[in-house]
Structure 1
Amino acid sequence: MGITGRLGGIARHDRPRGPIELIDEVAVTIRDGIAGDFRGAMKPDGPRKRQVSLINAEDWAAAMSDLGLEPGAIPWQERRANLLVQGIQIPRENGARIRIGNDVVIEIVQECDPCSRMEALHTGLKAALTPEWRGGVLGRVYAEGTIRTGDTIRIEE
């Protein structure tokens, strides 16, 4: 079946700069992305390119280490990513597909470049997230369903 990881966390925010909500289960649809997250909804003129953001737990930990911080010193959700991937490297290429649980498939569309908001969290965080797609990836929903923290994640061939 190949190498698998797990979904370590789910986060969403209902408006730009809005509070981050951690949840254990959520519906993911082609029309709305992560239910309740403002970035996922389709535009009236076509599908959104950026519906879901994912970050690798090991990459986040490496960025913390580069800054001399203890693991968890800044919670992963402060990156404002939707999904925390653990135990498997997220592909760093557009078009790759990631299956979460039984049904949901996310297609990677681009790197998630760290923004200046990361500097507000900690000086140097933007630079620590910049190398090798450490800041995560952006994707669009390819197949919908419900995901739960702890679900298996695997890379589709």
Structure 2
Amino acid sequence: MSSGRLAGIARHDRPRGPIETVDEVAVTIREGIHGDYRGAMKPDGPRKRQVSLIAAEDWAAALSDLELDEDAIEWWQRRANLLVQGVALPRREGARIHIGETLVIEAVQECDPCSRMEEIRPGLKAALTPDWRGGVLGRVLVDGAIRVGDQIRIEE
């Protein structure tokens, strides 16, 4: 099992809404990331795409392709919920991502970059496309409270 750390947490309460970064948050099967609109349970059960994760190293590689410094565009502008560092995110459905003491997220698919990335910076969508650089979408399997700095473990 490989490990890294949680480097950032972000959420937004509505589509195209402003992004809020926080240092800690509760994550549940029923709600996804507390305060984030995407993770809330639908009437027919939990959403498949509750949480989005991106690796700091993949974000840096995309910015490098655009010949930008790592801090030229904040990671949360990608609209991902969690920024991980020091560990490669899984690139297959079914892998488990453990964060902190109890949270478990199941990887369900690649987070394909959308055309909104072009609104941020021309070329960003293409820079995030190769090798799952845009991140991973997941669903919550086990509730947990997480905070920036928590350990992340990947169970392939």
TM-score (norm 2): 0.98
* Mapped partners of 1:89, 1:75: distance in 2: 20
Shift of 1:3: 2.9
Tell me how far 1:156 sits from its aligned partner.
2.2
Tell me the equivalent position of 2:55.
56
Are 2:93 and 2:109, in contact at CA under 8 Å, matched by a contact in 1?
yes
Measured against aligned partners, the alpha-carbon deviations of 1:9-39 in whole angstroms (never above 9, x if no partner) come to 0000000000000000000000000000000
- Partner residue, 2:98: 99
Cα offset, 1:129, TM superposition: 0.2
In structure 2, list runs of 5 or more residues that go unmatched: none
Unaligned stretches of 5+ residues in structure 1: none
SS of the residue corresponding to residue 89 of structure 1 reads: coil
Distance in 1 (alpha carbons) for counterparts of 2:108 and 2:71 = 28
- 2:122 maps to which residue? 123
Q: Percent same amino acid among aligned pairs?
A: 75
Q: Distance in 1 between matches of 2:141 and 2:39?
A: 12
- What's the TM-score once normalised by structure 1's chain length? 0.98
State the superposition RMSD in angstroms: 0.7
Q: Residue 43 in 1 paired to residue 42 in 2?
A: yes
The CA distance in 1 between the partners of 2:2 and 2:97, in whole Å, is: 12
What is the alpha-carbon distance in structure 2 between the residues aligned to residue 45 and residue 62 of structure 1?
Answer: 39
- Paired residue for 2:108? 109
The answer to whether 1:146 aligns with 2:129 is: no
Report what 1:67 is aligned to: 66
Shift of 1:62: 0.1
Q: Which runs of 4+ in 1 moved over 3 A?
A: none
1:45 positional shift: 1.5
State the distance in 1 between where 2:3 and 2:109 align: 22
In 1: Cα distance, 2:78 partner to 2:115 partner: 11
How far apart, CA to CA, are the structure 2 residues paired with 1:55 and 1:114?
Answer: 11
> What code does the residue aligned with 2:78 have?
R
Partner SS for 1:28: strand
How many angstroms apart in 2 are the aligned matches of 1:46 and 1:99? 22
Secondary structure at 2:61 match in 1: helix
Secondary structure at the counterpart of residue 39 of structure 1: helix
Q: Distance in 1 between matches of 2:10 and 2:2?
A: 24
SS in 1 for 2:38: coil
The aligned length equals 156
